[in-house]
Amino acid sequence: MDTMAKRTIKAQLVPTADCQAHWIITFSELGECINANLSGNTLHYTRHHLSRVLDTIEFQIRYGCPPIDQLKGDMWLPDHIMQRQEFCRCTEWVWGVIWWYTELGCIEKLSTDGIPLDELSDELLQRQTNALIASGCLEVEADTAMERSRNEEDNGQEVRSIKVMHRQFQHQEAEE
């Protein structure tokens, strides 16, 4: 049996009490998992399988890397993110964790579904935004305009741009 196929580091989007679309890190190995959740300025670990996952971006752990219990000890926790923030920094933190583990040589720079590391930040934000819109917590009013752009990046094809006119977060009050 190939046990290496079961060793992964995942960015997982989950609903929490504070955020309907919150990114966490999950280490998985042989049916076991360790979830790392940065909430405020505190890193919480749990070992239970999550009941509700909205989205996942998964990276294989390379052969020869330590077990997940040891890998979690190398968690990326920069001072600027660990300071108490007025807003959630989960997307930036999860991107940094994945980047750090690629720098350590523990995971590939390409996710199992083909997302390269240099596009991961945008992908995390897009998936989080989509989940917030789907949950009704984020409303986006957009005015679309057709623009013609002729440059090397778009190979002379028409480009559609969406100008975001208004964003509104609907915060849910904690029920007492």
Place of tokens 């935004």: 129
> Can you give the pLDDT at residue 58?
97
> Can you give the pLDDT at residue 86?
65
DSSP string for 48-72: SPPS--SEEEEEEBPTTPPPHHHHG
Pairing of strands 42-46, 138-147: unpaired
Question: How many helices and strands in the chain, by DSSP H and E?
Answer: 4, 7
- Residue 92 located in a structural domain: yes
- Residue 39 located in a structural domain: yes
- Residue 158 located in a structural domain: no
Instruction: Report the distance separating Cα 93 and Cα 113, nearest Å.
Output: 21
- Residue 12 located in a structural domain: yes
- Residue 149 located in a structural domain: no
CB atoms within 10 A of CB 86: 5
- The tens-digit pLDDT sequence of the chain (176 residues) is 344 458 999 999 999 887 889 999 999 999 899 999 988 778 899 999 998 999 999 999 999 999 999 999 888 777 766 676 667 788 999 999 999 999 999 999 999 999 999 999 999 999 999 998 887 766 666 555 454 444 445 555 444 444 343 344 443 333 33
What is the sign of the dihedral through the CA atoms of 79, 41, 111 and 21? negative
Residue length of the chain: 176
- Residue 161 located in a structural domain: no
Amino acid at 61: I
- Residue 169 located in a structural domain: no
CB atoms within 10 A of CB 172: 13
Instruction: Report the distance separating Cα 85 and Cα 94, nearest Å.
Output: 16
- Residue 167 located in a structural domain: no
Decide: helix, strand or coil at residue 21.
Answer: coil
Domain count, the chain: 1
> Can you give the pLDDT at residue 105?
96
> Can you give the pLDDT at residue 35?
97
CB atoms within 10 A of CB 108: 15
Q: Could you list the residue range(s) of the whole structural domain that residue 80 is in?
A: 4-137
